[in-house]
Chain A
Amino acid sequence: MLMLTCPACGVTAEETEFAAGGEAHRRREGPGSSEEAFEAYLFARANPRGVHLERWRHAFGCGKWFHAARSTVTLEVFGTYPADLGAPPEAILAAIRARAAGGEGGR
């Protein structure tokens, strides 16, 4: 069972209060983009065995979207950050690096 902290309202709760929203930070393609780019935007996923940057929604709380960095192998949550950030903040990246230095979970 995952524990997540919603950066919008500050509540920490277990995963039944949240809804998973898939891979984060995908660049939206629009009219005029190539078929390859549009296909990749819609369907191709990194789906890493390791750190996954992903979207979550505080569905049964404040309702806001946010981001999380989580290992898909150990299920460790390295941290959550607001929806309007285009990449994880330095503190989360440092936590990921620290874990990577110590073993598989950070991959």
Chain B
Amino acid sequence: MTLKLFTLLLQAAVSTLGISLISIAIGFVIAIVLSAAILSHKPAYVFSARLFISFFRGVPLLVQLLLIYTLLPVIGINVPSIVAAIVGLSLCTAAYQAENLRGGFESVPPGLIEAAEVTGLNPQQTFFRIRVPIALRLTFPALINEAIMILKSSSLVSVVGIIEITKMAQDLASSTYLPIPIFASAALIYLVINSFVVLIGRFAERSLGGASA
């Protein structure tokens, strides 16, 4: 196991990290929209959001990625594999994050929303200033969990042609005949990344709410 091999793995880790973080962020925005749709109590919105969530939670991510990758060109959209990977991961994590957030939104005590109402905040202001931050605080540990899940599941994007940590490790292992040190290094890199996510999460959780309720 040379430094050169390790450097290659680290370069692949940049793909893993980049694709995962971008997907988690995009997924979060979509999740806010989905949970707002469910909370709107408008049947058409609720139904569409529910359909979205059931699909992306019910179909394996691997199948979703293959579908996106093969389906888009058929309907005339040619996307680079990195876009297909990010779209797939984003939609999948959006479904899980939306479920988390919905639970968080439902646990916001109604009195806090009434307090916003009587101080004159309109529904949008109440949503962004009161409901989202409180729901986020309540669901933050679940969000960190989801981020870690996505970082690990991102190994699946190799099926659309992305070289990330796992794929790079497989390629290197078969070309160098050094599978054990290479896979061990890959494991170590995942572990370090995820430990960082947990640390950043702890830090953010503390600054998010000032003091815990």
* A and B form one complex: no
- Seen from chain B, the residues whose Cβ lies within 8 Å of a Cβ on chain A are none
